[in-house]
Amino acid sequence: MAKTAKKTAWEWCSKYIRLRDAIEYQEKHPDVPFGYVQCCTCNHIIEYNRNCDAGHYISKGSGGGSGVYFDERNIHAQCKSCNGFHQGRQVVYHQFMLEKYGQKVVDELEFLDKNQSYHGKIVGIGLMYKQMLEELK
C-alpha cells in the first residue's frame, strides 16, 4: 500500500524532533554519550531512536486534523509509555509547555490548532522536515 503524504511527512517530522531533542539533551549534559533524551512528561532518560516517540501536546483538532500537528513547538521527545499508554499525560505536558515556551506560545498553539490548516501543504512540510533533519545531522 502506498504511503500517504501525511505519513511520509510525519516520519521525517518525528525523526527530526527526536534528533533535535537528543542534541539539546547532550548540550545540557556534555558528559552523557550522544543518543539519549529526557521524556518531556515523566522525565525518564530514554534512547532517542528506540523507546522514544515524538509526542504531541495538542494531538487532534476538532475537525480530525490539528492545525499544529506539524508545528515543532507542539512536538517533543516522549517515551512510548507516556505517549501511548498514558495518552500523552496532558496535564503534565501542559506544565512542560508553560515552562519551556510560556503562556503566550501555548495560547498561540491553541489558536492555530483551530485556525490553521495543513491541507494542500503536506508534501512541502514533509520535504521541509527532511531538509531540517539533514541539516541537524
Task: Say how many C-beta atoms besides its own lie within 10 A of residue 70's C-beta.
Answer: 22
Is 48 buried (19+), middle (13-18) or exposed (0-12) by CB count in 10 A? buried
And the C-alpha cell for 78?
Answer: 516522549
Cβ proximity to Zn ion, 9 vs 46, nearer residue: 46
User: Minimum CB separation from Zn ion for residue 96, in Å?
Assistant: 11
In angstroms, rounded to a whole number, what is the distance separating the alpha carbons of residues 36 and 24? 10
User: Minimum CB separation from Zn ion for residue 121, in Å?
Assistant: 31
User: Minimum CB separation from Zn ion for residue 82, in Å?
Assistant: 3
Cβ proximity to Zn ion, 19 vs 82, nearer residue: 82
> Which stretches of the chain bind Zn ion, using CB under 5 A?
39, 42, 79, 82
